[in-house]
Amino acid sequence: MQASTDATVLVTGASGFIAMHCILKLFEQGYKVRGTLRSPERETGLRETFSKYIDDNAQLQFITADLGSDDGWDEAVHGCQFILHVASPFTPAPPKHEDDHIIPAREGTMRVLKAAVAANVKRVVMTSSIVAIVIGHDRDASRTFTENDWSQLERGADAYQKSKTIAERAAWDFVNGLKGDDPLELAVINPGLVLGPILDADFSPSGEVIRKLMRREYPGCPDLGWPVVDVRDVAEAHIAAMNTPEATGKRFICAIENYSMQEIAIVLNKAFAQKGYKIPTRRLPNFIMRIASIWDKTARLVINDLGHRTEVSNDRIKKVLNWKPRSLEEMVVSMANSMIDFGVVQS
């Protein structure tokens, strides 16, 4: 793949799971790409990773810019027609204080948007999440959530869920308040649980579901479930939202059906049992998960989601962006295979 146009797209948080796939998709379609990194030390490893997929690595530029600082953002957005704002704070364990997530998510989004306005950027596509839509509501499959819904943060939202909701609302408030004949355009992608192939061993926390099942870290499957999506389909949605005129001013739920952890385990067992992987497929009682959360910080993140079943509508993204998502089997098996390739899991 080699870039062949003069258009430059900024991708924030370039070392992230979704961002890396966005960068590959942009190069595939002929764009020049500039990515932001919190630390310049990540550049060497990223270039090594991208060199496996991108013929002309010189077309990929990196700028050091952190969501918590004004430094670097004017340089990052200069000359860019589009921005994919993917960066957002997330840790594999609950933060000491919720503001450790909320403040950089909100203020970082404002830094990106203000710099975009100053640089006459045409459109920003922001990565939000379905946690900005479904939290604080009954999630018992009795209703189907749409882009018209917003999370109710006063009803038990955690730090990450608050950060995504507050940052997205701040983005819409800012853009809707702009004046002028040609204001900044905004579209928002709201993915579900993101699976699919990892590109290096430093994988997204969303991959913990697959990693824990492949390594049999639990004796069974907790009563958890999520609307899921392949990372390649998330990247394609970002590029489509960037280029589709009708996407401006809209949010897009980016996920297929709700699948339980047990259903994911059954897919893994079918694909990998004969290769020596002992995948736990029985249902794990909720009290076991609550006990595990005492020492397992990842379990602590999902303890409030036990027993929930979240149904979402992807009608808008299919209609407006012509989105054609991959199947559960493809995203699960491809993620597991890539984790094997990078030594994240072993039989």
pLDDT at 118: 95
Give CA–CA dist 250/254, Å, rounded. Answer: 12
pLDDT in tens, 269-295: 999 999 999 999 999 888 887 887 777
Report the mean per-residue pLDDT for the chain: 92
- Tokens linked to 31: 């764009």
- Burial pattern 44-53, b for ≥16 Cβ within 10 A else e, equals eebeebbeee
Q: What's the pLDDT band for 238 if we cut at 50, 70, 90?
A: very high
Lowest mean pLDDT: which of 33-47, 285-299, 314-328?
Answer: 285-299
| Residues in CB range of 86: below 8 A, 6 or more apart | 11, 12, 13, 16, 18, 19, 22, 127, 238
For the chain, the farthest-separated pair of C-alpha atoms sits apart, in whole angstroms, at 62
Number of domains comprising the chain: 1
In a domain, 74, yes or no: yes
In a domain, 161, yes or no: yes
User: What is the distance between the terminal CA atoms of the chain, rounded to a whole angstrom?
Assistant: 34
87 DSSP β-pair partners: none
Contact 32, 8 (CB under 8 A): yes
Q: What's the pLDDT band for 308 if we cut at 50, 70, 90?
A: confident
The answer, yes or no, to whether residue 304 has pLDDT greater than 80, is: no
The answer, yes or no, to whether residue 6 has pLDDT greater than 80, is: no
pLDDT in tens, 152-184: 999 888 999 999 999 999 999 999 999 877 789
**Alpha helices, H only, the chain:** 17-28, 42-50, 73-77, 99-118, 159-176, 208-214, 231-243, 261-272, 286-292, 297-302, 315-320, 328-341
CATH number, domain containing residue 104: 3.40.50.720
In a domain, 92, yes or no: yes
Give CA–CA dist 296/300, Å, rounded. Answer: 6
Instruction: Report how far apart, in Å, the C-alpha atoms of 131 and of each of 162, 167, 221, 245, 248 are.
Output: 8, 12, 22, 26, 21
Instruction: Report how far apart, in Å, the C-alpha atoms of 242 and of each of 21, 63, 68, 336 are.
Output: 15, 21, 25, 30
The answer, yes or no, to whether residue 5 has pLDDT greater than 80, is: no
pLDDT above 90 covers what percent of the chain?
75
Which of 96, 164, 250, 270 does the annotation list as catalytic?
A: 164
More confident residue, 199 or 91: 199
Q: Is 164 a catalytic residue?
A: yes
pLDDT at 3: 42
Residue 243: which domain range? 8-205+227-258+309-326
Global confidence as pTM: 0.94
In a domain, 191, yes or no: yes
In a domain, 2, yes or no: no
In a domain, 139, yes or no: yes
Q: What's the pLDDT band for 134 if we cut at 50, 70, 90?
A: very high
In a domain, 151, yes or no: yes
In a domain, 293, yes or no: no
